[in-house]
Amino acid sequence: MNRKLSLTILLLGFLIALPGHSAAQTGSIAIKGKVQGIKKGRLHITSRRSEEITDTLAFCDFKKGKFAIEVPAEEPMVVQIAVEGYSGGFTLLAEPGTAYEANLSNDESFYIKGGVLNERYTQHLVKSDSMRNLVNGLKDRYEDMRSNKKFRSASLVNDTLRNEQKKLQDFTGNFLKENDNLIAAYTILSNIEMRDAGLRESKEMYRTLGEGAKATHCGRIIEERIDRMEKTAGGAVAPDFTLPDLNGNPVTMSSVKGKIKIIDFWASWCGPCRLNNPALKKLYDEFHSKGLEIIGISLDHSKAGWQKAIEKDGLSWINVSSLKGWDCEVAHQYNVSGVPALFILDENNHIIANGLRGEQLKAFLQERLK
Question: What average pLDDT does this structure show over 71-77?
Answer: 94
Residue 40 CA: distances (Å) to CA of 64, 91, 103, 143, 252: 6, 21, 15, 49, 50
The pLDDT, as a whole number, for residue 354 is: 87
pLDDT of 2 over the 70 cut: no
The pLDDT, as a whole number, for residue 130 is: 95
The pLDDT, as a whole number, for residue 252 is: 98
What's the mean per-residue pLDDT of the chain?
A: 90
Banded model confidence at residue 24, pLDDT cuts 50, 70, 90:
low
Contacts of 162 (CB under 8 A, 6+ apart): none
Domains and CATH numbers, the chain: 14-114 (2.60.40.1120), 242-368 (3.40.30.10)
The pLDDT, as a whole number, for residue 16 is: 28
Q: Are 221 and 189 in contact (CB under 8 A)?
A: yes
Contacts of 366 (CB under 8 A, 6+ apart): none
Banded model confidence at residue 321, pLDDT cuts 50, 70, 90:
very high
The pLDDT, as a whole number, for residue 88 is: 86
The pLDDT, as a whole number, for residue 27 is: 83
pLDDT of 246 over the 80 cut: yes
Bond prior to 340 in cis (omega within 30° of 0): yes
Percent of the chain with pLDDT over 90: 82
pTM, to two decimals: 0.71
Q: Which residue, among 279, 275, 272, has the nearest Cα to 294 in the 3D structure?
A: 279
The pLDDT, as a whole number, for residue 323 is: 98
